[in-house]
Amino acid sequence: MVAETRAVLGYYDMLIEICGIGDVLSAKSAIGLPERHALQDGMNRLVLAGILNTEALHDWERAVSVGVGGGRFDDCVAATVGTVQAVADALKPYGVCNSARLFLPGTIGAWESADFQETAAILKEYDVTGNVVAPGTYAVTFQYTSGWNGLHISRVALMASPKGRPTERVELCADAHEGKTAHISAGNVYRLQVGQVDPDSTYRVVAKIRGTRPQDQQAGRTGCGGTVSMQREREPDWQARVMDVKPLPDTRGH
């Protein structure tokens, strides 16, 4: 009951901030520095509300039974994350920084049966330059979403390259263990330790995965698909870090 109440309160807090952001945008024909600060503060509070909402939803699931919510539960979490990200995207032209990138999960890619057409074991790469925003521990999660066949993962690494020179790669960190994701998942989260972030570098996650070739799938038991997300794990002072995010200093009106 407590978790469900916190989840509902999170929805109200999100709605309050979205309405406040709308008020700022509709009150002025041009957005100057004071308005950008107001928008950034609203964005930061929206991020806090969204994170606390998803946290409460997961607490509810753990209190009842992990997995009992099924796809509908996953849709609820995705709706909260998607709402926060959509507002962040809408505010980007006004110089508002996306503080959600600090801690909310972001989808970095997917996989499907066609990926395994040539061979069952492959290396899959995902550009995560926009997701690696600060030092810390990043959790990369492989989540089955559709099809009869699951996915096996054995290694995930983070590669860095100088901007404009993608072939010059350096492996920064890696997590190697056997994981799988299907109707039931186990070990499907991989943690990458990032010591520093270079603004002049691009970053890619390289995953060693194994699926089922389409030609090897049984009739009536086909398909293999899922998504990959990346999330920076939270420090004890994560709320202060979110609220400390400032807008870009650009003073041009929009």
- What pLDDT is recorded for position 250? 62
Q: What is the pLDDT of residues 27-67, one digit of tens each?
A: 867 788 889 999 999 999 999 999 999 989 988 887 886 56
**CATH architecture under which domain 106-235 falls:** Sandwich (2.60)
Q: Report d(CA 138, CA 157) in Å as an integer.
A: 11
Residue 7 — pLDDT band, cuts 50, 70, 90? very high
Q: What is the pLDDT of residues 96-109, one digit of tens each?
A: 998 887 788 788 99
Whether the CA torsion 54, 58, 64, 67 is positive or negative: it is positive
Mean pLDDT of the chain: 90
Give the type of residue at 125.
E
Please name the residues in contact with 46: beta carbons below 8 A apart, sequence gap of 6 or more. Answer: 14, 17, 18, 21, 84, 87
Neighbours of 27 (CB within 10 A): 10
The model carries a pTM of: 0.74
Nearest to 140 by CA among 205, 84, 77, 185: 205
